[in-house]
């Protein structure tokens, strides 16, 4: 066990531009910006390793870090690949895969072992905010304990035919949905700090089974914006501290809910109810300390739903947030203004919505230490020093 906050590994090629910054993952957050200037003698290939000893503890193990970079002309090396599939093939359970930001989409891939897969985040505040973009991810057998974080992707399908457990999906930007196939079983799933935009399909943005084939599911501190309906789930699924955004009171936040827990959410221009009028609508569900504005009423007292502490037709008083776009605008500011009825109104005493609870939403979605700026001369003489200035932060 070493007392350190993060380790940064940076490789420079002599008289060659360098932009991407594969850095091992960190678990903690709220890092202050760090600026470091390094002076060194130039070599044809130079590797810099600097370690920041800060508060916190990280256990170093035998994990291998695999870097995926499909940018033409980018440096190669040991454990560096141009496709995610190749990195997964080379990896073993417990390994880390970093998908470097690129102008090119990395395509679809399948995860069939326990991996930690990281991208750059959904809106990194750096000089060149290029994202780590992929298409569809399929979770197959033997992927228990997998983490998927910091990607801009279409969707995720959980397709295993045996029980899948302890999946974590966080800090991602989705263009479609997370879907559980008919034959799959889930025991342990965290969906946290994601941005879900307009779903291109007719199914729910998060489409899970409503019966006993799902258990220990937590959907927390996510943004859902413009879809026909957002969540289908059941069996004590906890839906907490999310923000559901619609365009009218005819939009609905849910497909089917059965025996779920809906706590501390904000429904903004959307009904906290179901699109369904069939037997699979919202039923046996508890609504506690939620807020709805321009979205009607909570379905308490019907279909065996219960609840208390909810606020209806209460303006959450965001600093700046619209309800008309199908994609998120990063100039919006969903911070609650002073005097908002959502402040401190949660079951846990925290704010309602994405900034409450223990997993406050970071609109950068940066899952790891991030180099914001890197300044170095384009070319130097053989006997000159090389001055490098690095500014870094985490979420």
Any domain includes 302 = yes
- Residue 279, both tokens: 């037997």
Half-sphere exposure of 309 (CA within 13 A, CB side): 18
> What's the domain count of the chain?
1
300 burial via Cβ count (<10 Å: 0-12, 13-18, 19+): middle
Eight-class DSSP state of 89: H
Using the predicted structure, report yes or no on whether residue 32 has a pLDDT greater than 90: no
Cα 58 to Cα 62: distance, rounded to the nearest angstrom: 13
Q: Where would I find the beta strands (DSSP E) of 259-369?
A: 261-263, 266-268, 271-274, 286-288, 291-293, 306-308, 311-312, 318-320, 333-336
Residue 218 lies in a domain: yes
Task: Determine the pLDDT at residue 75.
Answer: 87
Residues of the domain holding 348: 172-361
Do the domain assignments include residue 100?
Answer: no
User: What length does the chain have?
Assistant: 395
Arithmetic mean of pLDDT, 149-168 = 94
How far apart CA 152 and CA 103 sit, in angstroms, is: 12
Q: Is residue 109 part of a domain?
A: no
- Of the chain, the percentage scoring pLDDT greater than 90 comes to 57
Q: Which of 51-55, 73-77, 242-246, 342-346 has the highest mean pLDDT?
A: 342-346
Between CA 240 and CA 247, with CA 244 as vertex, the angle to 5 degrees is 165
* Structural domain includes residue 369: no
* pTM, entire model: 0.81
Q: Is residue 57 part of a domain?
A: no
Alpha-carbon distance of 142 to 166, in angstroms, equals: 11
For 297-317, what is the mean pLDDT?
A: 96
Domain membership flag for residue 256: yes
- Name the strand (E) or helix (H) holding 164: strand 163-170
Structure confidence by residue, pLDDT tens digits, 220-238: 999 998 666 789 999 999 9
- pLDDT of 279 reads 60
Q: Is residue 163 part of a domain?
A: no
The pLDDT-based confidence of 55 (bands split at 50, 70, 90) is very low
Among residues 329, 275, 269, 323, the alpha carbon closest in space to that of 299 is found at 275
Question: At which residue do the structure tokens 């739903």 appear?
Answer: 305
């Amino acid at each position: 066990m070493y007392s350190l906050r993060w380790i940064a590994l940076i490789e420079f090629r002599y008289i060659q531009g360098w932009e991407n910054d594969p850095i091992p993952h960190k678990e903690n957050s709220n890092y202050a910006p760090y600026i470091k200037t390094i002076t060194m003698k130039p070599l044809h290939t130079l590797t810099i390793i600097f370690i920041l000893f800060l508060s916190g503890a990280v256990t170093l193990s035998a994990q291998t870090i695999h870097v995926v970079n499909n940018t033409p002309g980018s440096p190669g090396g040991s454990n560096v690949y141009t496709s995610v599939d190749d990195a997964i093939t080379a990896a073993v359970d417990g390994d880390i895969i970093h998908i470097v930001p690129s102008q090119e989409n990395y395509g679809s891939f399948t995860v069939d072992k326990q991996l930690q897969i990281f991208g750059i985040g959904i809106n990194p505040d750096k000089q060149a905010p290029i994202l780590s973009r992929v298409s569809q991810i399929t979770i197959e057998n033997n992927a228990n304990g997998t983490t998927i974080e910091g990607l801009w992707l279409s969707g995720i399908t959980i397709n295993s035919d045996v029980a899948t457990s302890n999946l974590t999906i966080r800090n991602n930007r989705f263009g479609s949905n997370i879907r559980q196939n008919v034959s799959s079983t889930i025991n342990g799933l965290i969906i946290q700090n994601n941005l879900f935009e307009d779903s291109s399909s007719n199914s729910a943005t998060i489409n899970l089974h409503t019966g006993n084939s799902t258990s220990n599911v937590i959907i927390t501190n996510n943004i859902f914006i413009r879809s026909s309906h957002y969540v289908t789930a059941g069996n004590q699924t906890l839906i907490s501290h999310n923000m559901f955004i619609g365009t009218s009171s005819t939009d609905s936040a849910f497909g089917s809910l059965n025996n779920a827990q809906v706590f501390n959410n904000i429904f903004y221009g959307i009904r906290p109810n179901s699109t369904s009028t069939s037997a699979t609508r919202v039923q046996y569900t508890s609504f506690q300390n939620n807020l709805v504005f321009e979205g009607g009423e909570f379905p308490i007292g019907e279909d065996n739903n219960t609840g208390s502490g909810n606020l209806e037709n209460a303006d959450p008083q965001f600093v700046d947030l619209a309800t008309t776009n199908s994609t998120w605008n990063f100039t919006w500011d969903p911070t609650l203004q002073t005097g908002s009825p959502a402040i401190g109104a949660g079951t846990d005493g925290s704010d309602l919505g994405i900034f409450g609870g223990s997993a406050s939403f970071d609109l950068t979605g940066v899952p790891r230490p991030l180099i914001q700026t890197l300044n170095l001369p384009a070319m130097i003489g053989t006997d000159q020093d090389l001055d490098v200035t690095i500014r870094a932060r985490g979420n």
